[in-house]
Every structure is written in structure tokens, then in C-alpha cells.
Structure 1
Amino acid sequence: MAQLTPARARICSDCDGFPVVAITTGLRDRDGFRQTLTATCRTCNGHGHTTRAVLARAGR
């Protein structure tokens, strides 16, 4: 018997589902921790998946 599966969200093609990353600068704080910068995907705005509104804006 066939089982129903929920529809999967479309994964962002630019970030492949990893929308926020931490990049080390190579420097350390006074406490000894590494300084990091966070970067978010501009296409999905840090969500990791695209929505139909994004596809509609692209003209599809």
C-alpha cells in the first residue's frame, strides 16, 4: 500500500540548505576564543529554502 509523504521544501540552490555560516578571521580575543563573522545567504535570506514567491518573482 502506498504511503503518503509530506511535500519537501525546495532547498535553496545557492546555499544547499546551509544558510548561515561562521567564518574565522584567524585572530583571537583576550579570552583566547577565535573571532568569527557570520554570513547569511542572500537568496533565501537565511531560511535555507526557497518559497513560491521567490519563483514567481523570477518569472517562472
Structure 2
Amino acid sequence: MALDEPNDEDKVFDQGLFKVVVNAQELENIGEVEIDFKDSRFGSGFTVRSTYGSTCS
């Protein structure tokens, strides 16, 4: 996962206040994705969970 500018080959998913940009070549490799924001006493941030079982936070 990285921050980058979208390009013509990317797929853009508009989710209300957020836009999620995915490299088109990687799209079939990631499956369904759930993005969640958590705020706790230990900190806050996004968690990205794939249907394939891996996570990034």
C-alpha cells in the first residue's frame, strides 16, 4: 500500500467522502477489501482487511 497520484490505468472507487484508488493490475489480486477507521486510547488509524486474510494498518 502506498500513497500516489492516480493515473489512467487505476480504478477509482468513490465512497462518499473518500476515494479509494487501486492499481488496475493489482485489482484482481486483492479481492474484496474492508477499510475501517479505529480510534482508541492506543491511537487511531485505518485498517485495511482483504478477503484473502492479510491486513495493513
Report the TM-score range of the alignment, normalised by the length of the smaller protein.
under 0.3
Q: TM-score, with normalisation over the residues of structure 2?
A: 0.25
Q: TM-score, with normalisation over the residues of structure 1?
A: 0.25
Higher RCO, 1 vs 2 (CA within 8 Å, ≥6 residues apart): 1
